[in-house]
Amino acid sequence: MKKVVITGADGFVGSALTRELTDHGIEVIALDLEGHRQNIPDSGLVHFYPFSLDKAAELGGRLKECGCDTFFHFAWAGSAGAARADTALQLKNAQWTVDCLRLAKTLGCSRFVNAGSIMEIETMRAVFSGGNRPGPGYIYGSGKLAAHTMCKSVAAEIGIDLVWAMITNAYGVGERSPRMVNTTIQKCIRGEAPQFTAGTQNYDFVYIDDVARAFRLIGEKGKPFHEYLIGSGNAKPLKEFLLEMKAAIAPELDFIFGDIPFTGVNQPLADFDCSITEKDTGFKAEISFGEGCKRTRDWWCAIGDSCEKQA
């Protein structure tokens, strides 16, 4: 890779990949909403263009001669919170992903790397398990799954290499969404005892720096029309991860398990297997969950009004 396009370049994963690529001397066309560039690194290798998912095709003329070889797509409306259950929005996201795939072809890119989710696999299990009643969160997973299937057919039709990377659960410095790692760390900072399900369901987390490196390696070495899981390579029951967090940042607090009902499906550990990713790209996660939680805790302390950092 020499020059790439990144949609959602100001977002959590997009900005991390932008830093990763520029650190390796790769030029980046950074696309995000007008005025959304506070997280994009200040580098002569980065060129920012305002971008809206619903008007992706309009960018083709402006960037026609950009000379990019790879297109990374991260922009996705409603990836957290109540919008994950918005059926109309998630269906639009699937179409917008196809639109970006076609834009990549127009720009002369030879490959399109998309940020998928392990929720695609979980959604299949939840929806096609007889008698199961999937929760609204699976609407987001359905949008990702629809985008995946449509992009594979369209990519084959228009002649562009599609590489689909599925993230387990990215976390770390720079993410502000109210997802479990963040909300738990914030409770620990406040000295509150966090409550969870029994935590017996299998899970995985991968720190943002590892995620960014994985996307670079997948962009460079991933095989066309293949799927690559980005995870720690050490999936286990959720309770074990949370106890690792407790030991790292809040050993004095009680972590309470079992008070919240679990309504999802328990994926087998095989669903979290990252061996193909390692075999084809050389990626292997380096940052432990405990270390990642420390870094994230310290970041929240640094941007907060006050926080006494723990050892």
CATH code at 148? 3.40.50.720
- pTM of the entire predicted model: 0.95
Confidence (pLDDT) at 65: 77
- List pLDDT tens digits, range 251-295: 999 999 998 888 788 999 999 999 999 999 999 999 999 999 999
Q: Pull the structure tokens for residue 174.
A: 């720079």
Question: What's the total number of domains in the chain?
Answer: 1
Answer for the pair 232, 283: CB distance below 8 angstroms, yes or no.
no
Distance CA 75, CA 172 (A): 19
Please check whether residue 62 lies inside any domain of the structure: yes
Please check whether residue 291 lies inside any domain of the structure: no
Distance CA 207, CA 222 (A): 20
Please check whether residue 261 lies inside any domain of the structure: no
Indicate the length of the chain as a whole number.
Answer: 311
Our CA angle for 231, 110, 142, nearest 5°, is 45
Answer for the pair 137, 84: CB distance below 8 angstroms, yes or no.
yes
Distance CA 171, CA 168 (A): 10
Please check whether residue 161 lies inside any domain of the structure: yes
- List pLDDT tens digits, range 68-94: 999 999 999 998 889 999 999 999 999
Please check whether residue 10 lies inside any domain of the structure: yes
What is the extent of the structural domain holding 88?
3-167
Distance CA 283, CA 277 (A): 6
Please check whether residue 225 lies inside any domain of the structure: no
Per-residue burial over 76-111, b = 16 or more CB atoms within 10 Å of its CB, e = otherwise: bebbeeeebebeebbebbbbbbbbbbbbbbbbebeb
Confidence (pLDDT) at 308: 46
Please check whether residue 135 lies inside any domain of the structure: yes
How does pLDDT run along the chain (311 residues), one tens digit per residue?
999 999 999 999 999 999 999 999 999 999 999 999 999 999 999 999 999 999 998 898 888 778 999 999 999 999 888 999 999 999 999 999 999 999 999 999 999 999 999 999 999 999 998 898 999 989 999 999 999 999 999 999 999 999 999 999 999 999 998 899 999 999 999 999 999 999 999 999 999 999 999 999 999 999 999 999 999 999 999 999 999 999 999 999 999 999 888 878 899 999 999 999 999 999 999 999 999 999 999 999 999 844 544 43
Beta strands in the chain (DSSP E): 3-7, 27-32, 46-50, 70-73, 111-117, 161-167, 170-171, 195-196, 202-203, 206-207, 226-230, 236-237, 256-257
